[in-house]
Structure 1
Amino acid sequence: MYEGKIIRFYRRKVKMTQDELGRGICSVTHISKIERGITEYSPEITKLLSQRLQIDMEKELSCLLNLKTKLDYWHELMISQNRKAATDVHIELKANKLLELSEHAAYYTLLVANYYLTQGSIEKAKKRIDNIESSVDLLSAYEANLFKHVLALYYISVDEHTKSIDIFNTIDYKFYPNPSIYYDLAVAYQNVHSPVLAYHYAEKALNHFKKTNQFLRIIDTENLMLIQVESDKYRNFDDTIEQYENLLKLCDLCNSIEKKAMVLHNFAYEHFRRQNYETAGELYKESMALKDKDTPLYLLSLEGYTRSALIGEFLSQDALIALIDEGSAIADSCDQTLYKLIFNLHRYSAFQQEDDYHEYLFDSVLPYLKLHGYTLTAQTYDRDLFNYYTGKGNPDLALEVAERLINAECSKSLETADVL
């Protein structure tokens, strides 16, 4: 089935004509028919043509016939978050020039898109998605549902979570039995502030990851579930501490620095929410120590540490300014507009410039937050503005902010009613 395609591929690769390849072996017409797969030919001819092309036909055929198994293996590596092994397979497959000859070429392109999403290379992933989108009707049932999964993950990566949920809900599990979708759905529901559904799907994902001993995914999922239950303000914080400590032990057992940094950051936030600012600061610092500097992930914990120090007042003004300078520089180098704005706010706070702080908040920060969908953060700052305008005796602006808060609460109530 593949011999003719392989012969044509390597003939073209060495820039040999059909006449040159067939000279002394068979006619140009016969070569043409072999390459198009429309004639039978003897093993002797295949052997002679392979020798002239200096290829091992059996090896090339074996590579193509085992391709589906290799692609499935690569997909499993990505699901289990075995990043190093997944990268090794990606390099191996990228070097396989015969991929385009197989019936699995579309499957490969979809997995490349998925791989780039796991690497945070959004534009590269989108390019592959666009290539496939024009020929979705030609995909197998499995590939068509994999395409939906990859597309939904793309929308999560660009913060269009409602779109991702809509796509997830069209996936047919009969043709695409991939339980890791439950975790992805949980993430999407968390980001649209639906903790009940987020917990529900995370629990389904956790059952699968435990059955298959995917410990890195267990850490992610339990961490996600813990975030959902922490929305219950009556929950005993001692239980929370115990669960986070158990997760950190699991991170150590898995030797996963990346996961430990994530868990430490979330643990810090839970202390911050309870106004344990010094403890939060220490945990943020531990998280920062495990991350590569000058990256958005490092910046995330640096901002948490800076905020904790500002409110908790456990650092000197000089130390605070040094943190803010560091954060601003990293935000510039990483082109993180949100953090540029937030660290500018922190600077006004550090110098106790209350009027400048709120003017900058009103003119620059809130418009950006609302434009880019940072709804909860915007509501927090709106409450700050309401208190400020009320204290300044500016009832008109205070009323404007109050109306926004009321509308946001009404919208949230309606969303909750729909979910329940």
Structure 2
Amino acid sequence: MTIGSKIRYHRMKKKLTQEELATGILSVSYLSKIENNQTTASEEVIELLCKRLGIVLLQENDEVLKKAFSDWNKALLRNDHNEAVRLYEQVSSQITQIDDMTLLNSFLILKIRYHILLKDYESPRDIITTLEKNYKVLSDKLRFYFHKFAGNFCYTQSQFEKANNHLKDAEHFFVLGSILDNEEKADLFYLKSLTLVQLRKHALAIHYSEESLALYQSLYHNKRCAEIHLLLGVCYRRIQNIQEAITHYEWANEISKNIDYPLLRGNVEQNLGYLKSMDSRIEEAISHYLKSLEFKNDDQASKLTTILALVKEYYKLKRFDELMKWLKEGILLSQQQKNREKYYEFRIYEFAANKLDGEFEEFMKTEALPFFEKTGNPHLLAQYSKFLGNYYQEIRKYKYAAHYLTKANVAYEKIIGL
């Protein structure tokens, strides 16, 4: 950041006009040229301006802080929670003394990822809004990080189309910013593949997953390689290439055993259970789901998904004692996790296991289905609109049945079009 830009930054920070700063020192037009870096002022003029601003002009060399930012970014990239917190405390104590807008914007951009790592999903909203206002002054390199982290944030909020748009821009600025870090590229491609899976764009998801996998293999990052094999398994399962899916699940399982990664083993068992469920091998599916739970003590969100899967399988078998046991645990856990999506699904099965009546109809029409529609989840909207439509068919309310079955078909068509 040049001297003129720093003068302008501190003037605006103190809410002074150019005339107020310039009076008795130099002309307003000359100050304007200095602030716009169109001319170089004498040391005497700079000293007088700094004195009026009440600052000591910081040195141009901010290499120490830049190094700290680089280290902080690496910790964030590798999900190193403790190191990320330590470095945040280090840089945040110095940032108030910084008048370099590039460094200040770098700090804000890295804070997006930092809050995501800490599972604080409120703070990034205001930061992203601020950076969007400052977007014109961001370098191509900073635009890469902004779009990457903003895409990461949108993904955590299930805003997958928005996430994908940000990540497309990140890929563009990765090239323009001349970023040569393969680990950054691998992480970007992994984020893209995760997002594309959610958008059901499986061919593209497979492409980016394989690109990311090759990069991580070259970096000997076994944990991420295992995660990508699992993701590829999901992609191939969804396009009905079951043998290829199983191959990737086996790779994920083998790597996770070797590196002692129990959560991933739990997710592999979860996906194998889903495969068996698709093939109507319900008892085998239940066995995989129960085994999955053995590995998920430390991940309540993932545990919630498995419990819901068990509820669905026990409902198919009409084994209501076991269903109610898991249903009770699932409702409690979804409330603790503030996961409204899963909570509504558990409540639907609670009604189904007990009594489908007017209260069920009201719940579906005023709470569950509007929520699935509002959050833009066509899969759940299709599944549970069909559930309600079938209920109305059974009680011979054919007009209502037709309405909700049509709603389900529209949602299914949207899924096919994604």
Q: Which category describes the TM-score, using the shorter chain as reference length?
A: 0.7 to 0.9
Task: Say if 2:95 and 2:104, in contact at 8 Å, map to a contact too.
Answer: no
Shift of 1:251: 1.5
Matched, 1:385 2:383: no
Among 191, 194, 198, the residue aligned to 1:187 = 194
Q: TM-score, normalised by structure 2?
A: 0.75
Sequence identity (%): 15
Moved more, 94-103 or 326-335: 94-103
Residue of structure 2 in register with 1:321 after alignment: 324
Matched, 1:36 2:56: yes
Matched, 1:198 2:199: no
Deviations 1:217-273 (A, max 9, x none): 22222222211111233x345x54443233122112222333333333333323332
Among 240, 245, 252, the residue aligned to 2:250 = 245
CA distance in 2 between counterparts of 1:145 and 1:38 reads: 28
CA distance in 1 between counterparts of 2:97 and 2:312 reads: 51
Residue of structure 2 in register with 1:227 after alignment: 234
- Residues 105 and 364 from structure 1, CA distance in 2 versus in 1: closer, same or farther, beyond 3 angstroms? closer
SS at match of 1:121: coil
Residue of structure 2 in register with 1:134 after alignment: 133
Counterparts of residues 48-63 of structure 1 (less than 5 Å) = none
Q: TM-score, normalised by structure 1?
A: 0.75
Deviations 1:186-210 (A, max 9, x none): 2222222221222222222222222
CA distance in 1 between counterparts of 2:191 and 2:415 reads: 22
Unpaired stretches in structure 1, ≥5 consecutive residues: 6-27, 40-60
Shift of 1:148: 1.7
Residue of structure 1 in register with 2:34 after alignment: none
CA distance in 2 between counterparts of 1:377 and 1:110 reads: 34
Residue of structure 2 in register with 1:297 after alignment: 302
CA distance in 2 between counterparts of 1:113 and 1:38 reads: 27
Residue of structure 1 in register with 2:369 after alignment: 366
Q: Which amino acid aligns with 1:327?
A: G
Among 330, 335, 344, the residue aligned to 1:341 = 344
Moved more, 73-82 or 112-121: 73-82
Deviations 1:360-417 (A, max 9, x none): 444532222112112112212233334333344333223223332443344445x35x
Residue of structure 2 in register with 1:160 after alignment: 159
- Residues 197 and 242 from structure 1, CA distance in 2 versus in 1: closer, same or farther, beyond 3 angstroms? closer
Deviations 1:17-62 (A, max 9, x none): xxxxxxxxxxx98x959963499xxxxxxxxxxxxxxxxxxxxx9x
- Residues 66 and 280 from structure 1, CA distance in 2 versus in 1: closer, same or farther, beyond 3 angstroms? farther
Residue of structure 2 in register with 1:72 after alignment: 70
CA RMSD of aligned residues (A): 3.4
Residue of structure 2 in register with 1:108 after alignment: 107
Task: Say if 1:294 and 1:333, in contact at 8 Å, map to a contact too.
Answer: no
Deviations 1:309-328 (A, max 9, x none): 22245x5x334323222222
Moved more, 293-302 or 325-334: 293-302
CA distance in 2 between counterparts of 1:258 and 1:95 reads: 36
SS at match of 2:98: helix
SS at match of 1:230: helix
CA distance in 2 between counterparts of 1:254 and 1:142 reads: 34
Spell out structure 1 runs of 4+ moving beyond 6 A: none
CA distance in 2 between counterparts of 1:191 and 1:301 reads: 18
Residue of structure 2 in register with 1:276 after alignment: 281
Among 308, 326, 334, the residue aligned to 1:331 = 334
Residue of structure 2 in register with 1:266 after alignment: 271
CA distance in 1 between counterparts of 2:158 and 2:365 reads: 24
SS at match of 2:175: coil
CA distance in 1 between counterparts of 2:303 and 2:396 reads: 40
Task: Say if 2:75 and 2:81, in contact at 8 Å, map to a contact too.
Answer: yes
CA distance in 2 between counterparts of 1:197 and 1:186 reads: 7
Task: Say if 1:385 and 1:401, in contact at 8 Å, map to a contact too.
Answer: yes
Task: Say if 1:349 and 1:357, in contact at 8 Å, map to a contact too.
Answer: no
- Residues 381 and 168 from structure 1, CA distance in 2 versus in 1: closer, same or farther, beyond 3 angstroms? same
- Residues 78 and 214 from structure 1, CA distance in 2 versus in 1: closer, same or farther, beyond 3 angstroms? farther
Task: Say if 1:278 and 1:309, in contact at 8 Å, map to a contact too.
Answer: no
Shift of 1:331: 2.1
Task: Say if 2:344 and 2:368, in contact at 8 Å, map to a contact too.
Answer: yes
Residue of structure 1 in register with 2:218 after alignment: 211
Task: Say if 2:379 and 2:411, in contact at 8 Å, map to a contact too.
Answer: no
Task: Say if 2:229 and 2:251, in contact at 8 Å, map to a contact too.
Answer: no
CA distance in 1 between counterparts of 2:399 and 2:74 reads: 58
Moved more, 353-362 or 338-347: 353-362
Task: Say if 1:369 and 1:377, in contact at 8 Å, map to a contact too.
Answer: yes
